[in-house]
Chains A and B, each alone.
Chain A
Amino acid sequence: MVSEHADATDGDTTALALKILVAGGFGVGKTTLVGAVSEIRPLRTEERLSEAGRLVDDTEGIDRKVTTTVAMDFGRITIRSGLSLYLFGTPGQDRFWFLWDELSQGALGAVVLADTRRLADCFPAVDYFEHRHIPFVVAVNCFTGARRYGTRDVLRALDLDPGTPVVLCDARDRDSGKEVLIRLVEYAGRIHTARLLDSVR
Chain B
Amino acid sequence: MTDHTTGADRGRPGSQWYDNEAGPLVRPYAMTGGRTRPGPEWVRFDLIALVTRVPGAPGSDDAVLGPEHRTLVRLCRSETQSVAELAADADLPVGVVRVLLGDLVELGCVTVSRPVPPARLPDERILREVIDGLRAL
Which residues does A use to contact B, with CB under 8 Å? Answer: 1-6, 8, 15-19, 37, 40, 43-48, 51, 65, 67, 69, 72, 74, 76-77, 79-80, 83-86, 88, 102-103, 105-108, 174, 178, 181-182, 185-186, 188-189, 192-193
Residue of B with least CB distance to A19: B48
Contacts of A181 in B (CB 8 A): 134
Give every chain A residue within 8 A of B36 (Cβ-Cβ).
Answer: 51
Query: Number of B residues whose C-beta is below 8 Å from A?
Result: 49
C-alpha spacing A46/B2, complex, angstroms: 13
Question: Known contacts being A67-B25, A83-B129, is A16 close to B134, with CB within 8 Å?
Answer: no
Considering the complex, which residues of chain B in the window 10-69 have a beta carbon less than 8 Å from any beta carbon of chain A?
Answer: 25, 28, 36, 39, 41, 43, 45-50, 52, 54
In the complex, whether B76 has a CB less than 8 A from a CB of chain A is no
Are A86 and B48 touching (Cβ within 8 A)? yes
CA distance A183 to B105 in the complex (A): 38
Q: How far is the CB of B87 from chain A (nearest CB, A)?
A: 4
* A192–B125 alpha-carbon span in the complex (Å): 13
Given A74-B88, A77-B137, A106-B117, the answer on whether A16 and B43 have CB atoms closer than 8 Å is no
Q: Is B8 an interface residue (CB 8 A)?
A: no
